[in-house]
Amino acid sequence: MDELLFLAHRIPYPPRKGDKIRSYHLLRALARNYRVHLGAFIDDDADLEHAGTVAGICGGETCLLRLDPIFTRLRALKGLFTGQPLTLPYYDHPRMRVWVTDLLKRHPIRRVVVYSAAPAQFILDLDPTIRRVIDFVDVDSAKWAAYAEQRHGWARWLYRRESRLLLQAERAIAARCEATLFVSEPEAALFRQLAPECAGKVGYWENGVDMAFFSPDRIYPNPYEPGDLPLVFTGAMDYWPNIDAVTWFAHEVFAAIREREPCARFVIVGGRPAPGVLKLASLSGVTVTGSVADVRPWIVWAKAAVAPLRIARGVQNKVLEAMAMARPVLATSQAMEGIRHDDVLRRWVADSPHEMIDKGLALLAGADEGGHGCGILGREMVKRHYDWEDHLAGVLTVVAGEESV
Chunked into runs of 10 residues, the chain (405 residues) has average pLDDT values of 97 91 97 98 93 96 95 92 96 97 96 98 92 97 93 95 98 97 95 97 95 95 97 95 97 98 98 96 98 96 96 88 95 88 78 97 83 80 92 96 77
User: Considering only CA atoms, which of 193, 196, 182 is closest in space to residue 133?
Assistant: 182
* Interatomic CA distance for residues 297 and 318, integer angstroms: 14
User: Is residue 221 domain-resident?
Assistant: no
User: Is residue 154 domain-resident?
Assistant: yes
User: Is residue 214 domain-resident?
Assistant: no
The domain containing residue 252 runs over which residues?
229-385
At residue 49, the pLDDT reads: 95
Q: 182 with 239, same domain? A: no
Q: 258 with 180, same domain? A: no
Q: 183 with 37, same domain? A: yes
* Interatomic CA distance for residues 300 and 219, integer angstroms: 10
Q: 195 with 48, same domain? A: yes
Does pTM surpass 0.85?
Answer: yes
User: Is residue 224 domain-resident?
Assistant: no
Q: 381 with 393, same domain? A: no
User: Is residue 405 domain-resident?
Assistant: no
Q: 258 with 373, same domain? A: yes
Q: Which amino acid is at 383?
A: K
Instruction: Check which CATH number belongs to the domain holding 238 and give it.
Output: 3.40.50.2000
User: Is residue 306 domain-resident?
Assistant: yes
At residue 375, the pLDDT reads: 85
At residue 250, the pLDDT reads: 98
Query: How many domains, the chain?
Result: 2
Q: 373 with 396, same domain? A: no
Q: 254 with 148, same domain? A: no
User: Is residue 222 domain-resident?
Assistant: no
Q: 202 with 350, same domain? A: no
User: Is residue 218 domain-resident?
Assistant: no
Q: 391 with 372, same domain? A: no
Q: 163 with 242, same domain? A: no
Q: 14 with 91, same domain? A: yes
